[in-house]
Chains A and B, each alone.
Chain A
Amino acid sequence: DGGITQSPKYLFRKEGQNVTLSCEQNLNHDAMYWYRQDPGQGLRLIYYSQIVNDFQKGDIAEGYSVSREKKESFPLTVTSAQKNPTAFYLCASSISDLRDGTEAFFGQGTRLTVV
């Protein structure tokens, strides 16, 4: 089945360690996105990528890094520089052309807890 997969669903890390969250899609989408969601809050954009080997900072990129070496993969690294890394992380993808009315597909999220 086509879709977008995030792994793992739950992740625990010690403070000061970098951690990488996986996001894979087989929808042949060019564009991919990472969002962060805190309890009771909406989604905030961390990074997005329109095409392979290109990505742009979102609204809260500090303390995060990404890569886009393959079309189907957009891993997010939460670095030790991120002051409050504990959150629910969501990955999404969409087609990249500018025809009207395209939609985004979201993964099921990774809940990261830093202790």
Chain B
Amino acid sequence: DAKTTQPPSMDCAEGRAANLPCNHSTISGNEYVYWYRQIHSQGPQYIIHGLKNNETNEMASLIITEDRKSSTLILPHATLRDTAVYYCIVRVGAFSGGYQKVTFGTGTKLQVIP
């Protein structure tokens, strides 16, 4: 799996958009970008994933650069409940697959400030 690089921490004012970057310069053509978040002492929660095109769901938007070497997760109107560690991971297609062991790095700790 390609490695990812994320800033260790970010702050965002409540109500503003939170833009979380992720670099994945060695991503392969068939690898997806996934985002999860982990609120303190809970299990990670799936947010969104994408391959080439930008994606949007009820939680967030994912912007992937044309060369696919980086992406940005956007929380359009951050709330205090969005304070969490956000993980960006890249991997081939499905989460499972005997040779595809998903690992999570240290992520970005997002602090939403009132």
A binding-site residues for B, Cβ under 8 Å? 4, 6, 30-31, 33, 35, 40-45, 48, 50, 56, 58-59, 88, 90-92, 94-109, 111
Write the nearest CB–CB distance from B43 to chain A, whole angstroms: 3
Stretch from B17-25, B69-77, B101-109 forming part of the interface with A:
B101-109
Interface of B: prevailing SS: loop
Known: A42-B104, A44-B103, A45-B102. A97 touches B94 (CB 8 A): yes
Evaluate contact between B95 and A94: CB separation under 8 angstroms.
yes
Additional 11 contacts, C-beta under 8 A, given A43-B104, A100-B32: A35-B104, A43-B44, A43-B87, A45-B101, A97-B96, A98-B94, A99-B94, A101-B94, A102-B93, A108-B43, A111-B41
Known: A101-B49, A102-B95, A103-B49. A58 touches B101 (CB 8 A): yes
B binding-site residues for A, Cβ under 8 Å? 32, 34, 41-46, 49, 51, 87, 93-98, 101-107
Evaluate contact between B42 and A104: CB separation under 8 angstroms.
no
Evaluate contact between B102 and A109: CB separation under 8 angstroms.
no
Q: Which residue in B32, B49, B103 is a CB contact (below 8 Å) of A59? A: B103
* In the bound complex, CA of A59 to CA of B44 (Å): 19
Total A-B Cβ pairs within 8 A: 86
Evaluate contact between B42 and A108: CB separation under 8 angstroms.
yes
Write the nearest CB–CB distance from A63 to chain B, whole angstroms: 18
Q: Which residue in A42, A91, A95, A100 is a CB contact (below 8 Å) of B51? A: A100
Residues of B within 8 A of A96 (CB): 94, 96
Return the 8 tightest CB-CB contacts between A and B, nearest first.
A106-B43, A31-B96, A43-B104, A100-B93, A94-B95, A42-B104, A102-B94, A103-B46
Q: Which residue in B32, B51, B95, B106 is a CB contact (below 8 Å) of A104? A: B95
Known: A101-B32, A101-B94. A42 touches B46 (CB 8 A): no
Closest-by-CB residue of A relative to B87 is: A42
Q: What are 5 residue pairs bridging A and B, where the CB atoms are less than 8 Å apart in the complex? A: A35-B104, A59-B101, A98-B94, A108-B42, A111-B41
Residues of A within 8 A of B96 (CB): 30-31, 48, 50, 94-98, 102, 104
